[in-house]
Structure 1
Amino acid sequence: MPLDSATTAQQRADARTGQDEREVAGLDALELGPQRLVEPNGFAVWGKRLWDASWPKALALVLVLGAWQAVVWSEWKPEFVFPGPDKVLPVLLGEVTTPRFWEAMQVTMQRALSGFALAVVVGVLVGVAVSRIKPLRAAIGSLITGLQTMPSIVWFPFAMLLYGITESAIMFVIILGAAPSIANGLVSGIDYVSPNLLRVGQVVGLRGIARYRYLIVPAALPTFVAGLKQGWAFAWRSLMAGELLVIIDQQNSIGWALSQARTMNNSERLLSYILIVLIIGIVIDIFFSYADKSIRKRWGIST
């Protein structure tokens, strides 16, 4: 080969190599550059998540307060009967700074958490038994759904007949209100476990309690969490009805505060405690939503 041709071929090869290296460098810059240059810190990530989660709720709160004030301005009811947020919110802020309020909050939340915990135990035991024993499902499956649809306030006369005006009457109604929803959630989750997954568990030797602990219950977890969320809603409503009906030696609680505000025709204080009940419900709902989102993310269903 002539010297000039060899030199030209070498120059062409070098040019192609240089072009390939520039293209690879460009791709690296496109892929890695933004990550290196704009990588957010932990505070920025949490701040964005907090903002994304809070601004829709803040907007909804503003809309509700605006609609509330508009109804007051329409003079639908006299202002001493239906006061506006400009009168109720200062009373609410005044209540949360008193020891009496925190005593009432402690009593109510202790009842709510203990009653819900007992309902979870009962609901899980019933749900596992019904899902495992087919004759039992045929016998009481519809009964559980019927109990779930019954208003919890219907049980209070019977509960007071059984236990008198005591904490046990309130716990009895909370369990009857929440346990059926929890049991149905667990049964539905177990029913939707993939048969292929069950066969894999059988192959690896999972039997009895281990089969439920390591395979069925984790697979049924999303539906079970939905049942827990619904069970908490029933438990909370049952508790509020119980505290309004079962007054235990004038023991301070949120329900008792509501009853006292109604007795004294104090509409500002009455509405402030209604807002407190609503806020507690929203906070608990945020907790269950976070648990559901975490499960979905762990399973790769959402990001």
Structure 2
Amino acid sequence: MAVDTLSGLDALELAERQSEPSRLLRIWGTIWPKLAALAIALAFWQLAFVLELRPSYTLPSPAEAFTELAERAQRGELWKGIAITARRAAMGYGFSLILGVGLGLAVARVRVLRVAIGSMITALQTMPSIAWFPLAILLFGLTEQAIFFVVVLGAAPSIANGVIAGIDYVPPLFLRAGRNLGARGLKLYWYIIAPAALPSFVSGLKQGWAFSWRSLMAGELIIVGLGKTSLGGQLTLARELIDPPGVIAMMIVILLFGLVVDYFFSKADRLIRNRWGLIEQ
């Protein structure tokens, strides 16, 4: 009996060792296309600089931009800008999430509300964020509240539409089966509707983040009276000082910030598709 137990443990250990290379290969298969795309982009950038397609005082080399980025990080202003912008993004998106989910649930289940404001939500979603700033400045002045106002108006409609679409496409068979099993009220939402609507909901969250991030960047570029320590403020300051390496360095940071957040949304989306059996193992 002891021999069988030991052989079983040996087999399990061998299986774990064999799975380790395959796991590393999967990770590498995910990383190398991104690294290749980055290398190609840097190569074209360097080629454009060498061929002087644009004057060097308007298009710096990659080395100049990354040197500027390293200097900003060393001085600490980069991290301070990231902290300020991240705080604004979290506050705006968090409030948009609460408002969008609540509005989406109400519109999806109350017919009168759907008729009254259903199409208005889509109209708000399609409206460019930059168009809200004149009104925001009139209402709140050149303040952080104006940026918050535009971020919420940019993100909440997308999140609400994701909730509405998810609930609308729940198969009626699921609802009947849930009611037959005794699911009513909140239980029906928690155990039946929410899991079935989750893919569309996550898609709405991702789209809402994209709108909120663009709105926030537009706000920090336009409303510079709040100081120039945020990412958008530093980008504006670099433009005013005619500092091309600084401009491109801050654009790289803004791009990387968005990519990091998108990674987590993609991770969540993959987990959901895996749970639904939509990904081949």
Q: TM-score, normalised by structure 2?
A: 0.90
Aligned residue type for 1:221: L
2-structure distance, mates of 1:246, 1:100? 19
2-structure distance, mates of 1:41, 1:90? 43
Aligned residue type for 1:141: G
Per the alignment, residue 162 of structure 1 pairs with 139
Give SS of 2:17's match: coil
**Which of 259, 265, 277 lines up with 1:288 in the alignment?**
265
Q: By how many angstroms is 1:210 displaced?
A: 2.4
**Which of 62, 66, 70 lines up with 2:39 in the alignment?**
62
Aligned residue type for 1:300: G
> Quick check: 2:144–2:226 contact (8 Å CA) kept in 1?
no
Moved more, 244-253 or 99-108: 244-253
Superposed, 1:211-290 pairs within 5 Å as 211-250=188-227, 252-290=229-267
1-structure distance, mates of 2:59, 2:228? 28
Per the alignment, residue 89 of structure 2 pairs with 112
1-structure distance, mates of 2:13, 2:138? 70
Aligned residue type for 2:49: V
> Quick check: 2:238–2:244 contact (8 Å CA) kept in 1?
yes
Q: Which has the larger radius of gyration?
A: 1
CA RMSD of aligned residues (A): 2.0
1-structure distance, mates of 2:155, 2:19? 39
Per the alignment, residue 23 of structure 1 pairs with none
Residue 182 (1) aligns with residue 159 (2)? yes
Per the alignment, residue 51 of structure 1 pairs with 28
Q: How many residues align?
A: 271
**Which of 32, 41, 62 lines up with 1:85 in the alignment?**
62
Q: By how many angstroms is 1:37 displaced?
A: 5.1
1-structure distance, mates of 2:32, 2:75? 29
Per the alignment, residue 21 of structure 1 pairs with none
Give SS of 1:77's match: coil
1-structure distance, mates of 2:191, 2:216? 34
Unaligned runs of 5+ in 1: 1-33
Q: By how many angstroms is 1:108 displaced?
A: 0.2
Q: TM-score, normalised by structure 1?
A: 0.84
